[in-house]
Structure 1
Amino acid sequence: MSVVPLERITVEPKAVANACVIWLHGLGDSGAGFAPVVPALGLKADHTIRFIFPHAPEQAVTINSGYVMRSWYDIKGMDLLDRADIQGVLASEIRVKALIEEQEALGISADRIVLAGFSQGGVMSLFTGLRYPKKLAGIMGLSCYLPSGDKLPEKTSEQNSSTAILQHHGLQDEVVPHQAGVMAREALLSGGYQTQWQEYTMGHNVLPQQLFDIGRWLTARLS
């Protein structure tokens, strides 16, 4: 099945890129929402990381009264164990995998690619990364949950069983409850994954210190 490439914003390094971060936005946002954060990551001036901020397709979202907006999948309700439309998750997984494969075709190997995301985008980064058939450099899920709630996705790949995972969550998150992130962390730890967990005194957003912490984590994975 051919996949229509996702529209995206690409931020190239000053040097020739030999690594890539694919960063997925949250519900109702677009790639433009996170593209400006690159300078705030505190990376070295001569870093070699390409950043890709794709735009999710537009679709009706049940929890938002059926309004059409950019969304990686439909959100059915507030139940943490049954929030994500799994068919939509699987459809977006195909699109995200195509982004990774596109970078591989350009000469950047999977083990030099980090899959990152915020909120709904973080759900997709965890789901896709855990199932991707080649080892990735890292998986980052910010203020998010697992689509299956307290369980790991089906058909996780052995190749990413030891991949570094970064999870951040706000203690006062009013959109994705802190407990949803904790459930994801516990499922990952129970599955033997190496996940690094960090909490921040914030709501459903990102902080300057958090971005700096992310930059250090990315540098350790991709330097």
Structure 2
Amino acid sequence: MAAVRKLHKCAVSPTGKHSASLIFLHGSGDTGRGLRAWVRDVTVPDLSFSHIRVIYPTAPARPYTPMRGAPSTVWFDRYKISRDCPEHTESIDDMCNTLGSIIQDEVNAGIPKHRIVIGGFSMGGAMALHLVCRYHPDVAGVFALSSFLNKDSVAFQAVEERLRAELSLPDMFQCHGTKDDLVLHQWGEDTSVMLREAGMPTTFHSFPGLNHQLSEPEMELLRSWILKKIPPIPSS
């Protein structure tokens, strides 16, 4: 078996004892450092915590079909940007395997999986949903900002299978701006509805006037949700 490649990443250490972890995935064409800088610019106070390590990985550059095969830092390939076409499952599964090594690193550092939250912006949110719904449903939660899944996503099937098997599913937190490109807000809302109908607990927030971007109100809501999923451990 080929060795799992290591991703470049930057991280924000907790100000106190490390007892939980957050993995935050960037959108297509960005980097972990780029997302980290953006979060710091729009979030007051910064998205940092006393007990949570925040990890921003960078996707490896790969040929990206919507850019006519030009290389880009994307988590997976797409045949086209549409919710109606098949998913590029080979590249998605390959990246799920790679990102799984980051989860394992946190577990090896003493963080149980039920104290890990995974999410992302745009393509990063879709990647997080695949990673959690299909491979790591025992984490504390998953979030998707300005993100959507394809209509026939295998992630929906995975959620339905866990529901039929009477297995638990983590909560999903989703946000989307109403002024996102054309139909993307509707695609995002449809994703939330389909995950909920498949059996996953979901929360969807619309932000009037927001384009395909992060915003301070959105990040404030996200911070509150994260702290509910992985609160500080009371000192004994």
Task: With the length of structure 2 as denominator, give the TM-score of the two structures.
Answer: 0.86
In structure 2, the residue matched to 1:197 is: 204
Unpaired segments of 5 or more residues in structure 2?
232-236
CA deviation string 1:28-59 (max 9, x = no partner)? 00001221325826479862000000000101
Pairs aligned (count): 222
CA contact (8 A) 2:175 2:204 kept: yes
Q: Does 1:101 find its partner at 2:116? A: no
In structure 2, the residue matched to 1:218 is: 226
In structure 2, the residue matched to 1:51 is: 54
CA deviation string 1:1-52 (max 9, x = no partner)? 3201111001101112110000010100000122132582647986200000
Kindly, what percent of the aligned residue pairs are identical? Answer: 27
Structure of larger gyration radius: 2
Instruction: Identify the match of residue 66 of structure 1 among 64, 69, 77.
Output: 69
Instruction: Identify the match of residue 207 of structure 1 among 207, 215, 230.
Output: 215
CA contact (8 A) 1:151 1:187 kept: no
In structure 2, the residue matched to 1:184 is: 191
Pair 1:87–1:21, CA change in 2 (3 A) = same
Q: Does 1:89 find its partner at 2:77? A: no
Q: Does 1:116 find its partner at 2:119? A: yes
Segment drifting more, 158-167 vs 3-12: 158-167
Pair 1:209–1:134, CA change in 2 (3 A) = closer
Pair 1:16–1:182, CA change in 2 (3 A) = same
Unpaired segments of 5 or more residues in structure 1?
none
Task: With the length of structure 1 as denominator, give the TM-score of the two structures.
Answer: 0.90
- Shift of the alpha carbon at 1:69? 1.1
Q: What is the RMSD computed on CA atoms of the aligned residues?
A: 2.3
- Shift of the alpha carbon at 1:97? 1.3
In structure 1, the residue matched to 2:131 is: 128
Mapped to 1, the partners of 2:36 and 2:47 lie a distance apart of: 17
Pair 1:169–1:184, CA change in 2 (3 A) = same
CA deviation string 1:139-189 (max 9, x = no partner)? 00111112x425452444749743111011111111771121122112111
